[in-house]
A = this chain, B = another copy of it.
Amino acid sequence: MYKKIPKNTIHRLPLYLSVLEQLAEESQNQEEFFHSVDLEKLLNIKNSVIRKDLSYFGEFGVKGKGYNIVSLKTALKEILDINVIKKTVIIGCGNIGTAIIKYPYFTKINLEIVAGFDVDPKIIKQKINQTPVYHIDRLVDFLNKEKIQFVILAVPVHASKFILQDLITKTDIHGIINFTPISLKVPKHIKVINSYISAKILEMYFYLKNTNA
């Protein structure tokens, strides 16, 4: 447990890891080093920010030499708790939900999508990439039995309200990754992370309109 990590630092940690994975793949040598300035060039994040971000978690570098690719990668995996396999479910197996189930990079972060849930009988009982899809009536039981810690919510807006209610009152989940375009009202022991696609597009609209291009 660390004391006071800035939110933006947490946002950046996955980016660092992502670049390190690439560097590790490209490098021949296990003992290869790199500098915070190299990372700055790859990520457009100031080297001072990178060093400060890492400093919240310990000292990973060698003065005068830099960071060892492999050992920093290992450290970041530890910080982000990637080494423990996590199980989650997708609630809503429409387009977005299905795409997420098929997303190939989750194995890299030890995420296992153990089930999908939907109401459409055409989808239920099929398997999407070996992942079974059940009726949403079975969601609460499943989460409790399997001790799922967080879920991925990808249902249409109108369905989200009652599902959310069930999640809050009848299960013990601690996190929701929300692909729904609405903001979820949850008790504070539940962490919501939003991935509202339209918001990204609208941000783009704003920038396009307001830059002297």
Contacts and interface: CB of A to CB of B under 8 A. Distances in A.
A18 B191 contact: no
Could you say how many copies of this chain the assembly holds?
Answer: 2
Contacts of A210: 1-2, 5
Q: Report whether over half of chain A's contact residues are helix, strand or loop; otherwise say mixed.
A: helix
A174 B79 contact: no
B95 A199 contact: no
Interface residues of A, number: 64
Interface in A17-47: 17-19, 22, 41-44
Interface of A: 1-2, 5, 10-11, 13-15, 17-19, 22, 41-44, 79-82, 86, 95-96, 98-100, 102-103, 105-106, 108-109, 111, 149-150, 174-175, 177, 181-183, 185, 189, 191, 193, 195-213
B197 A175 contact: no
